[in-house]
Amino acid sequence: MIATILPLIGRRLVMSVLILLIVSLLLFLVLHVLPVDPAAMSLPPTATIADIEAMRREMGLDLPLPQQYLIWLSHVIHADFGNSIHFRRSVLSLVGETLPATIELAVLSMIIAAALGIVGGLVMFHVRGSRKEPIADLGSIMLLSIPEFLWALFFILIFGVALQALPFTGRLDPQFRLPQGTGFLLFDALAAGRLDIFWSAFKHMILPCFSLGIAFSPAIMRVLRSSLIDVYQEDYIHLARLRGLSERRILIRHALKNAILPTLSLMGVQFGILFGGTLLVEVIFSYPGLGNLMVDAVRNADLPIIQAVGLAYCVVVLIINTVVDSLYLVLNPKLRVR
Amino acid sequence: MTHEIERRTLLQMLGLGVVGSGVFADSLVAYADGADAVTIGWPSDVPGWDPNLHFTPDAQPLYKLVFNQPLTQAPDLKLIPNLIAKWEMAKDGLSLTAQLRDDVTFHDGSKMTADDFRFTFFERLKSPEKLDIKNSWKKVKDIEVKSPTTAVMHFSAPYPTAPQWLAFLGSYIVPKAYVEKVGEKAFAEKPVGTGAYKLVDYQLNARSVLERNDKFWGPKPAIKRVTFEIIKDPSARVAAVQSGQVDITVNVPVREVTRLAHDPNLVGEINPITRVVLLQCRNDQGFADQNVRLAAHHAIDKAALSKAFYGGAAVPLSVPVTPGTPGALPDFKFAYDPEAAKKLLAKSGYSTSKPAKITFGATNGHFPSDFDIARAIQQMWKKVGIDAEIETIEYSKYFQLNRGGKLPDATLYSWDNATADPEIFGGYLLNAKMPFSAFKDPIVSDKFGALFGQTDYDKRIAGYKEAEKFAVEYGATIPLLQSVVTVVRKKKLSYEKFGNGWILANTMKWG
């Protein structure tokens, strides 16, 4: 199996480098045609035109565009994204500080989306052909049509304001300080043996993760239901039934295992969209991740951050897609046969 | 033939989804308001903790807790001593003698002296670091240290507003020995100031936690622990104060203030501050004609804008200065008069059937109801014969568009001046040599420019009053409203109101 997966990862890596180069070029070009002058932005409003011109030369903005791109790219290859215009700090340190929070949020949200999607898909499959089917259909369409930020506001009103059951700002209660470590708060809290911090972090993640998870679950539900309907037409299901296997065993051991594959592919694609969807949810829940940083960057026309965050999104999505494709290969023996 | 999953199987699977619901049983959040702690829902994070580095106005109430400025302002905005006990400006405006307090220590226990003052406002400006205060103190030629508590600032040109700048953006005394020992970067990570609070925890874009400095040289604050929760979304700030997750918050929509005021545990306030909302005008293109500019001004019903968008709390302005400040002209009124507007337009050959065409820029979301105000003005103009095409501009791009001569003919703009000095109102907004001014006609610009070197305070203020009136009557600016800051707080929490909108935690107390 490893012999099959390694070449795939190798091909993916080569492809990823190409994709990253294209994305970096697009990011660079798009941001450089915007009517924004990074030199002017990096100086206080009281700066003179001479100050700005000096800064333009210092930043290399007077050079031809291809040369500027190559200089920028060579810095990026050496992990130097420059300094933020707004924060006047290394962009890499800012992205490094915020990326783990967003990955943690996105992964937990995806787990919730998968759990809700699979349970919902099973329910929809269960009620197919019955009088409950239109209701289940309607429910899934309604879920599909509500975006994540509306769920976020809805949850804040219900669980935050009305019931006052869950916190909805930040990552931790005010009495706690972030434990040193990887930036993945749940992991760091456990590694430090601080269950109180773990619990506080977990509570802070419930509402943002459910907002994202619920918004992304209906597509999984619908694909799983369709896959199950297809799988139940296969001969091996009929044979299993003739062998006297229980419906539960048929579902879990035979049908679900095969029907889950298209769902897995979909989840791979959805993770990229969900990762982008963290942007608004992070702002609403004051969650200090990459999305929140990006919103600041856009507001302040902080081009170095926008470029770095754009690339960071791209890298994460490429990694996840490679992982999902490898998983697909592991779970589907047919693909391993040439 | 249907192949149903057994109901029991399904229920078992569904059960997985609700396992853990029990864990919520003990998760009810208790938000008790402690007598010595306060949580503030703040709309934006500090860009960093080096107070000399950034001019960000929203960050000043945070910096003022950890650091101190040489001078400060009373709630009525009068300039008062702070780290400087006494000061004297030379008559020629070329030097300022400062007598520093001798009882001030930094958080690390070291004593604050005139060397720190010199370091902050002179030596530090020579570092390669891109400090914003380099710009405000570029006239400083040298700072002479006469004793540990006496320093004389020497300027290369008269600097009559130096005292105002000692209490304004970025002017905080930092410890020379500590900064030189740990370096600029480490200083920003672990700041040491002379303020009433020490920074104990900072999480980027999430929160800043401050603890009372028990060795503070000034009055001891009532609140021991202050937490700034960074909540950028206005709806989330409303929810946070309503749910008790924060004790006080600012900049929430006006309609929410009105709604939350009905909550028996909350108080909603709409406080006018030293911020003006105005139209920055060009003197060319669609606004080259003075008749069109003046007509545009006469056509705007400012009282209606205030009523519609600020619950009537924003005071209509006739000059770009807020009421009650030194440059205010309470007796001067520029009338709302649509008929006069039509007559002025007719003089230039325009009417409702043949409207004057202008471009009109507005931010969307930079200050409360900005874009809605722009649309309302567009409708008011349409009625008299001005056809304005609105374009949205980012606030951060204003300077750049202005420098490149690409601003629209009129731009809805918000201008904050915590000092309340008229130079930092009209002087900065209408002196073409400043990067803020869109109106480049020397007839107006020179009037303001000449006052920058005026060292006689009374003459300076009188000069600004005259120049402001002239600028408005010339159509160089269209002041609209005195802006407001909205505050929602728990009823038991009180704080001192400042005319410039500062919300300072060291003035807060429970009870």
Is residue A208 situated within a structural domain?
yes
Residue in the structure block whose two tokens are 């059951």:
A165
Which residues contact residue A225 at a Cβ distance below 8 angstroms, ignoring those fewer than 6 apart? A121, A124, A125, A128
Residues B313-366 pLDDT 10s: 899 999 999 999 999 999 999 999 999 999 999 999 999 999 999 999 998 878
CB atoms within 10 A of CB A74: 10
- Residue finishing a domain among B142, B158, B189: B189
pLDDT score, position B426: 94
Q: Is the alpha carbon torsion for B159, B161, B167, B169 positive or negative? A: negative
Is residue A73 situated within a structural domain?
no
Are residue B66 and residue B167 in the same domain, yes or no? yes
Is residue A225 situated within a structural domain?
yes
Are residue B95 and residue B176 in the same domain, yes or no? yes
Radius of gyration of chain A (CA): 24
Q: Are B230 and A157 an interchain contact pair (Cβ–Cβ within 8 Å)?
A: no
Q: Decide: B415 and B429 in contact? Cβ < 8 Å.
A: yes
Which residues contact residue A78 at a Cβ distance below 8 angstroms, ignoring those fewer than 6 apart? none
B217 burial level (CB within 10 Å; 0-12, 13-18, 19+): middle
Is residue A297 situated within a structural domain?
yes
Q: Are B130 and A129 an interchain contact pair (Cβ–Cβ within 8 Å)?
A: no
pLDDT score, position B55: 87
pLDDT-based confidence at residue A333 (cuts at 50, 70, 90): confident
Find, in chain A, the residue whose alpha carbon is nearest to that of B15.
Answer: A119
pLDDT score, position A6: 79
Residues B403, B417: Cα–Cα separation, whole Å:
21
More confident: B26 or B220: B220
Q: Are A88 and B48 an interchain contact pair (Cβ–Cβ within 8 Å)?
A: yes
Are residue B91 and residue B173 in the same domain, yes or no? yes
**What percent of chain A has pLDDT above 70?**
96
| Chain A CB contacts of B39 below 8 Å | 174
| Chain A CB contacts of B246 below 8 Å | 169
DSSP state, residue A254: I
CATH of the domain at B196: 3.40.190.10
pLDDT at B215 over 50: yes
Q: Which domain holds residue A111?
A: 94-301
Residue in the structure block whose two tokens are 């697909």:
A328
Which residue of A112, A169, A198 to mutate against B (max B Cβ within 10 Å)? A169
Residues B237, B245: Cα–Cα separation, whole Å:
9
Q: Are A166 and B5 an interchain contact pair (Cβ–Cβ within 8 Å)?
A: no
Is residue B203 situated within a structural domain?
yes
Tell me the two tokens of residue A189.
């809290």
- Residue finishing a domain among B138, B162, B189: B189
Residues B65, B60: Cα–Cα separation, whole Å:
9
pLDDT score, position B33: 47
CATH of the domain at B72: 3.90.76.10
CA distances (Å), origin A320, targets A4, A103, A117, B390: 18, 11, 19, 43
Are residue B16 and residue B122 in the same domain, yes or no? no
Find, in chain B, the residue whose alpha carbon is nearest to that of A169.
Answer: B231
Are residue B121 and residue B185 in the same domain, yes or no? yes
Residue in the structure block whose two tokens are 């545990």:
B265
Q: Are A286 and B232 an interchain contact pair (Cβ–Cβ within 8 Å)?
A: yes
Average pLDDT score over chain A = 88
Which residue of B1, B2, B5, B207 to mutate against A (max A Cβ within 10 Å)? B5
Is residue A24 situated within a structural domain?
no
Q: Which ipTM value was assigned to this complex?
A: 0.84
Identity of residue B247:
D
- Residue finishing a domain among B132, B165, B189: B189
| Chain A CB contacts of B402 below 8 Å | none
pLDDT score, position B258: 87
State how far residue A244 is from chain B, nearest Cα, in angstroms.
13
Q: Decide: B81 and B71 in contact? Cβ < 8 Å.
A: yes
Query: Which of left, alpha, beta for B387 (phi over 0: left; psi -120 to 50: alpha)?
Result: beta
Is residue A119 situated within a structural domain?
yes
Find, in chain A, the residue whose alpha carbon is nearest to that of B189.
Answer: A89
Are residue B61 and residue B173 in the same domain, yes or no? yes
Q: Are A35 and B401 an interchain contact pair (Cβ–Cβ within 8 Å)?
A: yes
Is residue B465 situated within a structural domain?
no
- Facing A169 at nearest CB: one of B14, B231, B403: B231
Q: Which domain holds residue B72?
A: 57-189
Residues B372, B363: Cα–Cα separation, whole Å:
10
Q: Are B10 and A37 an interchain contact pair (Cβ–Cβ within 8 Å)?
A: no
The crossing angle, in degrees rounded to 10, of helices B338-347 and B290-298 is: 170
**Average pLDDT of the residues in B268-294:** 95
Average pLDDT score over chain B = 91
Q: Decide: A207 and A285 in contact? Cβ < 8 Å.
A: yes
Are residue B174 and residue B61 in the same domain, yes or no? yes
Residue in the structure block whose two tokens are 């931010």:
B363
Find, in chain B, the residue whose alpha carbon is nearest to that of A162.
Answer: B243
Is residue B423 situated within a structural domain?
no
Q: Are B3 and A250 an interchain contact pair (Cβ–Cβ within 8 Å)?
A: yes
Are residue B63 and residue B157 in the same domain, yes or no? yes
State how far residue B71 is from chain A, nearest Cα, in angstroms.
22
CATH of the domain at A211: 1.10.3720.10
Are residue B133 and residue B81 in the same domain, yes or no? yes
Q: How big is the A-B interface in CB pairs under 8 Å?
A: 169
pLDDT-based confidence at residue A210 (cuts at 50, 70, 90): very high
Q: For chain B, how many structural domains are there in total?
A: 2
State how far residue B276 is from chain A, nearest Cα, in angstroms.
18
Residues B354-406 pLDDT 10s: 999 999 999 887 888 899 999 999 999 999 999 999 999 887 778 778 877 88
Q: Are A174 and B209 an interchain contact pair (Cβ–Cβ within 8 Å)?
A: yes
pLDDT-based confidence at residue B29 (cuts at 50, 70, 90): very low
- In angstroms, how far apart are the furthest CA atoms of chain B? 102
Tell me the two tokens of residue B401.
């568009």
Q: For chain A, how many structural domains are there in total?
A: 1
- Facing B29 at nearest CB: one of A165, A171, A283: A165
Tell me the two tokens of residue B21.
């619901």
Is residue A133 situated within a structural domain?
yes
Find, in chain A, the residue whose alpha carbon is nearest to that of B433.
Answer: A48
Is residue A171 situated within a structural domain?
yes
